[in-house]
Amino acid sequence: MDTESSKASQYQEKVESKFRNLGKGKYGRIIKMARTPTHEEYKKTIAITGLGIVILGALGFLIMWLMTYVPQYF
């Protein structure tokens, strides 16, 4: 029973030490600087992403249309 509890406490210490050093490693500064985007930033991100999806969809449709109808004329 004693060995099981010592293994459990060692595992607990290992997990806790990883979480203690979370903000101190390579990415610590980035994590500390990170923040939730404002409503305006979120709206801009959604608009730009949506515009990109629409442009890619239109480009794909144009390519499909060209591959379907243009070969008939050659």
pTM (predicted TM-score): 0.54
pLDDT at 74 (0 to 100): 63
pLDDT at 44 (0 to 100): 97
Tokens standing for 15?
């997990």
pLDDT at 2 (0 to 100): 67
Region 2-11: mean pLDDT is: 81
* pLDDT tens, residue by residue, 8-66: 888 888 888 877 776 677 777 787 788 899 999 999 999 999 999 999 999 999 999 99
Of residues 62 and 70, the one with the higher pLDDT is 62
Task: Tell me how far apart the alpha carbons of residues 54 and 58 are, in angstroms, rounded to a whole number.
Answer: 6
Task: Tell me how far apart the alpha carbons of residues 5 and 11 are, in angstroms, rounded to a whole number.
Answer: 10
Plot region of 37 (φ>0 → left; ψ -120 to 50 → alpha; else → beta): beta
Of residues 59 and 73, the one with the higher pLDDT is 59
